[in-house]
Amino acid sequence: MMAKTISKEDILNIIIQLQKEGIDKVPKTRIKDKIGRSKQVDDFLEELVKEGKLIKEKSGNSILYYVKQENNEDHEENKLEVKENKIDEPKINEMFSDIINYIQDIRKILLKENTVDSKKFDEIYGKTKDSDGYSKLSAIRIEMGLTKEAFYSTYGEYIESKYQLYPGGEEGLTRKGNLYGIIKLK
């Protein structure tokens, strides 16, 4: 049986899809979970970084990737065409359509960020906990691909209801002036 061949485009498409699903910076482990674990994935990721199509960022023990926004887009494409003092209406309609789609994408992301996905949180806790059942909140947050603000505002109450908080870690929930960045299932 032949192994599925992958391409740089496959990897890029997976990262773009995960970003559309609300993961701003995609952990390398998430990419490998979707495509498979091979040296070829590492090589393609490095090539995409060298080509300027991806940005690579280290955060703790994780390596994160995200698609570089094109700053050098063809500006002529984005300008309205003016002919004899008339604005090209199809071009305006296309631009409005793009703007509406962009707003809808942002709305989906914002709604998704404020929804507690307890199954996903518990699954990542299971992956990141040590042999004694302790896990750092920072490791869970990074694996989920969320900003600190989005993670703690969305999952703070859930964490307190289901997990025992322990002081320590680089980040976490602050209660009575103490930082609690380590958790264990109650």
Asked if the domains at 8-67 and 118-185 fall in one CATH topology, the answer is yes
Q: Is 50 helix (H, G, I), strand (E, B) or coil?
A: helix
Predicted confidence (pLDDT) at residue 108 exceeds the cutoff of 80: no
Domains in the chain: boundaries: 8-67, 118-185
Predicted confidence (pLDDT) at residue 125 exceeds the cutoff of 90: yes
Q: How many residues does the chain have?
A: 186
In CATH, the number for domain 118-185 is 1.10.10
Predicted local confidence at residue 74, as pLDDT: 41
**Model pTM score:** 0.41
Quote the CA–CA distance of 16 and 53 in Å, as a whole number. Answer: 11
Lowest mean pLDDT among 4-13, 76-85, 105-114: 76-85
80 pLDDT tier (thresholds 50, 70, 90): very low
Predicted confidence (pLDDT) at residue 86 exceeds the cutoff of 60: no
Predicted confidence (pLDDT) at residue 71 exceeds the cutoff of 80: no
54 φ/ψ angles, rounded to the nearest 5 degrees:
-130, 155
> Residue 27 in contact with residue 145, Cβ under 8 Å?
yes
Average pLDDT taken over every residue of the chain: 81
Higher local confidence (pLDDT), 66 or 174: 174
Quote the CA–CA distance of 58 and 63 in Å, as a whole number. Answer: 5
Q: What angle do CA 61, 127, 65 make, to 5 degrees?
A: 45
**Domain 8-67 is of which CATH architecture?**
Orthogonal Bundle (1.10)
**Percent over 70 (pLDDT), the chain:** 82
> Residue 35 in contact with residue 14, Cβ under 8 Å?
yes
Quote the CA–CA distance of 9 and 85 in Å, as a whole number. Answer: 42
